[in-house]
Structure 1
Amino acid sequence: MAKSNTSNALFWAIILVGIFVLIGNWKDFFGKGTFGGVSFPKEEKKSTSKRGSKDKNTPSEEEEDDNEVAEPATGADFEKRADFVYPTGQKVEVIKHSAYALGYSEKYEQPAWVSYRLTSSMVTGNNKREDNFRPDPDVSTGSAVPEDYRGSGYDRGHLAPVADFRASAKWMDETFFMSNMSPQLHEFNAGIWEKLESKARGWARHNKVIYITSGPILKSGLPTIGRYNKVAIPEYYYKVIYDIREPEVKAIGFMFRNEGTKKPLQSFAMSVDEVERRTGLDFFPQLPDELEKKLEGSFNASQWFDKSKKDR
C-alpha cells in the first residue's frame, strides 16, 4: 500500500512539473530561473532613454522637455526637436543654456556658433544688465576666462546678445559665460554688429518668432590673445536669421569683417547658402528639403528692410 502511494505521488509530481513547463512558468516554480545549480539568462529590458549617451549632440529626454531653445509655442513638428537649432559641419561640444545653445570649439576657445529661438516676448522686460563675465562650468574642457581678454585691445563680444533676453534675469546672466564670447574690435562690436542685433530684435517683435545663429569663421592660423588660454581672433563673423512661420517665410544671412564700418547693414546681406559656403556649416539641417531650398537659396532684402513695415 505504501509503495502504491509513493508511486501515485511521483506520478502526480511529474504531471505538475509537466504542466508548469508547458505554461512557461517553470522559472518561477524552481526559483528565479535556476534549476539543478544551472542559471538561466534573464530577459534584458530594452532602454528607451537617451541618458548616458556619449554623443554630445544627442539630448536626453529630460533635456528635450526642459529645453526652451527648441520648443516653440506653435509650428511644424521639426521645430520641436531639441537639436533643431544646431548647425552641423564642425567638431564642437554642444552646450545648452536656458535660452540658447552653443557649439564650443576647444581648439579656438570660443563658440563656433550660438543658436536660439527669439520671440517677441523674450526681448521685452525691465531686467537690468549685470556684467557678470565668468567661465562656463558646463564646458567639459574648460572655457576661456575673462583674464584672457584683459589688456588685449579686444572686446568680449557677445554672440548671443544680452538684450535679446530681457524677459528673464537668468537668461541675461547666462549670456555672460565666456563660452558666449569672441574677440571683437570695439568699433565692430559697438557698431555694425550691435546694429544688426538691434534690428533682429525688431524683426522678432514684428514676426513674433525667428531663429538666429551667429558665430565667427574659425580657421587655422588665426592670431590669438589670452593669458591662460589661446583665444583665436576671428577675421570674419556671420549671422543667419530664419522666419519659418507663414505667411512670409524667409531667411537672410550676413557676413562682416571684424572691423568698424560706415556701410549700411543691407550691403552685408547675402543668401544663407553663401554663408554656408564660406563657413562650412549647415544651418538648421532638420528643415524639410523643399523648405530649406526655398529659404537658403536666395534672399529678398525688401522682406526684411522694407521701411513701410512697422518695427523694422
Structure 2
Amino acid sequence: MSSVRFITTASLCGASMGIGLFFGTKYERLKKGNKDHLTHLLHLTDTKALFVPSVFASSSIPATTSTSMPATFPQSQPVNRVSEIMKFGFPSLDQVRSFDNFVLSYDRRNRNAQWVFEHIKPEHVMKNENIKRGKSEFLEDNIIHTFFRATKNDFKNSGYDRGHLAAAANHRHTQKAMDQTFTLSNVSPQVGEGFNRDAWNDLEKYVRAKARQSRNVYCCTGPLYLPRRENDGKVYVKYEVIGKNNVAVPTHFFKVLLIENNQGQFELMPFVMPNQPLPKDVKLKKYLVPLESIERAAGFLLFDKIPRNNIKIISG
C-alpha cells in the first residue's frame, strides 16, 4: 500500500512539474516574440497584477514597433497624478492606460475605450496661443496589441467623425497633453453633423465652462451599446462596425460630471446622448439621466468612492 501511495504522489508531482514547465515555456515564448505580452496574457491573469503597476509607475510598458505612428508618448507625469485623476475610484481595471492628464480603460473587442477619466482644473482649459489643435494628429495607440487597436484607415470613408472622449480643448496647458487626446484609444466613431460638431460639442463646452468656475471637475466619458425593440417585438443590441478592424459604432455616449465648487461641495451630472443627429433647440438638461441607468448599461460603477451624502446636488 505504501509503495502505491509513493508512486501516486510521485506521478502527481511529475505531472505538476510538467504542467508548470509547459506554461513557463509558453510564457517565455510569448514574452520573446511579443513585447506587448502583458496585453496578450491579460485574460489569463489578474488585472491588478498586470496593469495597475504600469499605471502608477514612472515608466511605461514598452511600445511595439509600428510604421503608422512614432514611439508612444513618454509618461512624464508625477506618480501621484493618476491617483489624483482617479481619486474617487476606478470603474474597472481592464486594459488601463494612463496619459499625462487622463486615464482610460480600453475595450479590445469593440476597439473603443470603455471609459475615459479626466480631472480638469481651471488652468487646463485656459486659452493658450502657443497650444494649437492644428499641430496635433490622430495616431494609433502602440500600447494596444495590433489585433485589437483601431487605425486611421478604419475611419477613412466611414462617414463617421473621429470623436474625442477626452476632449482636446480640455487639455490646453501643454501641446503634449493636447496631442495625447488624438491617440485613437481615446477616439470613437461619432456622427458628425448634428452630434459631434453640434450637441456633443455643446456638452464639451459646458464641461469647460464648469471647469473655469469650479475648484475641480472630474469627468468620465464613454460609449454605450443600448438595446432597442424591433418590429418583431424582440429586444436587440445592434450596432454598426467600420473598417478592417471592425471598430464598433456606439449607439449612445455618456458623460458624467462630478463638480466641486469653491466651497468644497459636490454636484453630480450624468448625461446620455444618442449617437445621431440631434435637434439644435434641445437644452442639455434634457439629456440628464439617473446615474444608475448608465452604470447598469455600462457594467461598472462610477464615483463609488465618494459617499453619496457628500454630494449636495444629483441632477437627472
TM-score after normalising by structure 1 = 0.68
1:232 match: 248
The answer to whether the 8 A contact 1:157-1:182 is kept is yes
**Are 1:193 and 2:197 an aligned pair?**
no
Secondary structure, counterpart of 2:124 in structure 1: coil
2:304 aligns with one of 285, 288, 294: 285
What amino acid maps onto 2:160 in structure 1? Y
- Taking the TM superposition and a 5 Å limit, the aligned residue runs for 1:261-300 are 261-262=278-279, 263-287=282-306, 291-292=307-308, 295=311, 299-300=314-315
**Are 1:134 and 2:129 an aligned pair?**
no
**Distance change in 2, residues 1:60/1:122 (3 Å):** closer
**Residue 231 of structure 1: how far off its partner (Å):** 0.3
Task: Indicate the structure (1 or 2) with the bigger Cα radius of gyration.
Answer: 1
Secondary structure, counterpart of 1:261 in structure 2: coil
Q: How far apart are the structure 1 equivalents of 2:136 and 2:267? A: 34
1:184 match: 190
Secondary structure, counterpart of 2:209 in structure 1: helix
2:90 match: 86
Secondary structure, counterpart of 1:56 in structure 2: helix
The answer to whether the 8 A contact 2:56-2:79 is kept is no
- Taking the TM superposition and a 5 Å limit, the aligned residue runs for 1:145-164 are 145-164=151-170
Q: Alpha-carbon deviations, 1:254-310, whole Å to 9, x = none?
A: 0010012122111001232232133222112332xxx236549x7247xxxxxxxxx
Secondary structure, counterpart of 1:270 in structure 2: coil
Sequence identity (%): 28
Higher share in helix = 2
Q: Which runs of 5+ in 1 are unaligned?
A: 1-51, 73-77, 302-312
Secondary structure, counterpart of 2:301 in structure 1: coil
Q: How far apart are the structure 1 equivalents of 2:154 and 2:191? A: 15
> Once superposed, what is the RMSD of the aligned Cα atoms?
2.6
**Distance change in 2, residues 1:62/1:197 (3 Å):** same
1:166 match: 172
The answer to whether the 8 A contact 1:92-1:112 is kept is no
Q: How far apart are the structure 1 equivalents of 2:275 and 2:185? A: 19
**Distance change in 2, residues 1:274/1:294 (3 Å):** farther
1:100 match: 102
Q: How far apart are the structure 2 equivalents of 1:131 and 1:233? A: 24
**Distance change in 2, residues 1:139/1:293 (3 Å):** farther
Q: How many residues align?
A: 234
Q: How far apart are the structure 2 equivalents of 1:53 and 1:265? A: 37
Q: Which runs of 5+ in 2 are unaligned?
A: 1-46, 60-76, 227-236
Q: Alpha-carbon deviations, 1:82-115, whole Å to 9, x = none?
A: xx45213xx7310001110111111000101110
What amino acid maps onto 2:256 in structure 1? V
The answer to whether the 8 A contact 1:69-1:116 is kept is no
Q: How far apart are the structure 1 equivalents of 2:190 and 2:91? A: 22
**Distance change in 2, residues 1:226/1:115 (3 Å):** same
1:254 match: 271
Secondary structure, counterpart of 2:156 in structure 1: coil
Q: How far apart are the structure 2 equivalents of 1:53 and 1:250? A: 30
Q: Alpha-carbon deviations, 1:18-59, whole Å to 9, x = none?
A: xxxxxxxxxxxxxxxxxxxxxxxxxxxxxxxxxx97332444
Q: How far apart are the structure 1 equivalents of 2:174 and 2:97? A: 19
The answer to whether the 8 A contact 1:95-1:139 is kept is no
Secondary structure, counterpart of 2:200 in structure 1: helix
Q: How far apart are the structure 1 equivalents of 2:152 and 2:268? A: 34
1:208 match: 215
**Distance change in 2, residues 1:235/1:53 (3 Å):** closer
TM-score after normalising by structure 2 = 0.67
